[in-house]
């Protein structure tokens, strides 16, 4: 039997699962990732600050990427950066590749923090990220549409895709094994994706799964899409 997929527990909206003001523009604090132009030294210092601030922070109980993965990439980058100082061209190429990967992980982390904070400046700042100087009106997000769930050729894998939503930075994928049309389904978060697609692994063959998707913007969220269902192979 396959192991169940890792879930990401994220508390958003109110206790009923509805997203307040999903379609109403509002003034909210906007997170600033600010990693694109960081030098090697600054990138190392900034990543260490984020790891320190998020470790044990009750606002971020299950960060994405995990702090273990982030620390592993940071350690790798530091090692490669030292080797590149007086090393070969290949050493510098390896350092730069690791830098790009680390920055991408920090962008994903910024999206996670923004989703959790939902525009609250205190929560954003507690993570170690900064906020933009201006409190800007947030454009509304439309509901993701055309969600499709397709069995992969690999056992226990389902591939999802949907139409991209304007102004969305991340998409949150929810899953249940209970038909939401027949019963009060219990949904769990199984993925955060920066693209309008996702691959869900470790599913049990022969079991039907339902999925729905939510668009997440700079500091606001859409309502959920209509569900799509598929039986895992």
For 104-132, what is the mean pLDDT? 90
- Using DSSP, state whether 75 is helix, strand or coil: helix
pLDDT band for position 158 (cuts 50, 70, 90) = very high
For 136-143, what is the mean pLDDT? 77
For 140-150, what is the mean pLDDT? 94
Percent of the chain with pLDDT over 90: 60
Percent of the chain with pLDDT over 70: 85
Task: List, for residues 14-28, the tens digit of each pLDDT value.
Answer: 333 434 333 344 457
pTM: 0.57
| pLDDT score, position 36 | 87
Q: Do 212 and 224 form a contact (C-beta atoms < 8 A)? A: yes
| pLDDT score, position 138 | 64
| pLDDT score, position 136 | 56
- Across the strands, what pairs with 197? 161
Beta carbons within 10 angstroms of residue 205's beta carbon: 12
Q: Angle 89-117/40-54 helices, nearest 10 degrees?
A: 40
Task: List, for residues 57-94, the tens digit of each pLDDT value.
Answer: 999 988 888 999 999 999 999 999 999 988 899 999 99
Task: List, for residues 161-190, the tens digit of each pLDDT value.
Answer: 999 999 898 899 999 999 998 878 899 999
Element (H, E) at 191: strand 188-193
Average of per-residue pLDDT values in the chain: 85
């Amino acid at each position: 039997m396959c192991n169940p997929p890792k879930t990401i527990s994220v508390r958003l909206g109110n206790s009923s699962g509805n997203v307040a003001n999903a379609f109403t523009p509002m003034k909210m604090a906007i997170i600033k990732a600010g990693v694109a132009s960081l030098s090697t030294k600054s990138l190392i210092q900034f990543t260490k600050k984020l790891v320190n601030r998020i470790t044990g922070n009750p606002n971020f109980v299950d960060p994405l990427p995990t702090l273990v993965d982030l620390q592993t990439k940071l350690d790798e980058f530091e090692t490669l950066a030292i080797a590149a100082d007086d090393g070969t061209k290949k050493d510098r190429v390896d350092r730069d590749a690791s830098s790009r990967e680390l920055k991408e992980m920090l962008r994903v982390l910024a999206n996670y923090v923004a989703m959790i904070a939902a525009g609250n400046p205190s929560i954003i700042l507690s993570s170690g990220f900064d906020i933009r100087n201006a409190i800007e009106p947030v454009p509304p997000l439309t509901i993701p549409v055309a969600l499709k769930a397709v069995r992969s050729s690999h056992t226990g894998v389902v591939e999802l895709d949907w139409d991209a939503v304007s102004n969305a930075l991340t998409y949150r994928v929810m899953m249940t094994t209970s038909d939401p049309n027949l019963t009060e389904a219990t949904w769990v978060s199984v993925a955060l994706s920066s693209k309008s697609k996702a691959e869900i692994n470790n599913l049990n063959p022969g079991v039907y799964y339902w999925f729905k998707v939510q668009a997440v913007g700079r500091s606001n969220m859409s309502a959920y899409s209509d569900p799509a269902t598929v039986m895992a192979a």
